[in-house]
Structure 1
Amino acid sequence: MKDQALINIAVTVLVLAFLLSRQLAVRPLRERSMIGLVLLVVGLVEAGQFVSAHSLDAGDLALLVLSLAIGCALAVVRALWTIRLWVQDGRTMRQGNALTALLWVVSLGQHLAVDKVVLAGAGSATILLYFGVVLVVQREVLVLRARRSGVLSDAP
């Protein structure tokens, strides 16, 4: 069990580092991205395995859902106020800033705090699901923002 916790920590750190590097780099805005969906699917499998092996009560599930709702709210904040959008060479570009990174860390921290409140391991067992959901929400809000502001181009 301790080995699994170390693996979860390592995977979480690697995924966070990967996401932050992509969030802070200048990149084209894509209307479709597989990263969030892959994390979502893998996360659903992991979460399903955890839930089938452990007994979660209604309060535990409610707190996990609340954590996800907080994560989605922070994703909306990141997409609306911390990521810069502009058009360059006919393509819509995006780049997050230090506040984007800070909000990711806060978001992750509040989700992992679930482990201290509900069944131990539930937060880390659902982290990839969490990353997937909040990444998809952030991208959808960012695309909507780009469309409404008129900077979304038909990128290849």
Structure 2
Amino acid sequence: MPNTFDNILIGLVVLTWLMWRQLQVRRADRPPVVLLVISALGVASLGVAIAKTAPTTAAILLLVGSFVVAGGFGVARGYTMRIWRADGTLWRQGNWRTAVLWLISFGVHLGLDFAIDAANAAKGLGGASILLYLAVSLVTQRLTVRSRAHDALRKTSNAA
């Protein structure tokens, strides 16, 4: 299992790549391939860490809390996305607010990582959760964007 520094570095690389992708114009209905890959890697990484650390109740509660925070940031970012329809296709694009929320979210996660490790006798559980944290955040962002896109589609079809 990678150490905390390695997990943070991997998280930063993935975060940078995700931010770059989200600032691009993209279809709002793309298949969730990236999300599925990050989710699978995140579950595997966290599973290995849990098996090796025997987490305390406090560490588990902080870990669950971090995923709730991730979801909240995902919803917030979903509302920063510009959504529009062109040629019958729904499109979306993030902006500077989307990027700022990603950075704040990552900083909050780092703080929670240290709190999780402080509440656990064995270190590394917090850092091992970074990919799953990003995946949870992406899921809620994706659901928010899709909901907004469907609302926009419904309004345009009702107006016609």
Please give the range of the TM-score, normalised by the shorter of the 2 chains: 0.7 to 0.9
CA contact under 8 A between 2:46 and 2:128: conserved in structure 1?
yes
**Long gaps (5+) in structure 2:** 118-122, 156-160
Bigger Cα displacement from structure 2, 9-18 vs 117-126: 117-126
Counterpart amino acid of 1:115? D
In the alignment, the residues of structure 1 paired with residue 67 and residue 125 of structure 2 have an alpha-carbon distance, to the nearest angstrom, of: 12
1:63 to 2:66 alignment = no
1:147 to 2:150 alignment = yes
- Cα deviation digits, residues 32-86 of structure 1 (max 9, x gap): 3111121111111100100111121111111111111011011111112x10001
Bigger Cα displacement from structure 2, 123-132 vs 143-152: 143-152
Quote the sequence identity (%). 35
TM-score, length-scaled by structure 1: 0.88
- Cα deviation digits, residues 86-137 of structure 1 (max 9, x gap): 1123211111111101111111111121222122422220111111111111
**Long gaps (5+) in structure 1:** none
In the alignment, the residues of structure 2 paired with residue 21 and residue 14 of structure 1 have an alpha-carbon distance, to the nearest angstrom, of: 11
Q: Which residue of 1 aligns with 2:158?
A: none
Q: How far 1:28 sits from its partner (Å)?
A: 1.1
RMSD, aligned CA:
2.0
In the alignment, the residues of structure 2 paired with residue 52 and residue 121 of structure 1 have an alpha-carbon distance, to the nearest angstrom, of: 11
Q: Which residue of 2 aligns with 1:49?
A: 48
Q: Which runs of 4+ in 1 moved over 4 A?
A: none
Number of aligned residue pairs: give it. 151
Which one has the largest radius of gyration? 2
In the alignment, the residues of structure 2 paired with residue 5 and residue 73 of structure 1 have an alpha-carbon distance, to the nearest angstrom, of: 24
Q: Which residue of 1 aligns with 2:115?
A: 117
Q: Which residue of 1 aligns with 2:90?
A: 92
In the alignment, the residues of structure 1 paired with residue 6 and residue 21 of structure 2 have an alpha-carbon distance, to the nearest angstrom, of: 23
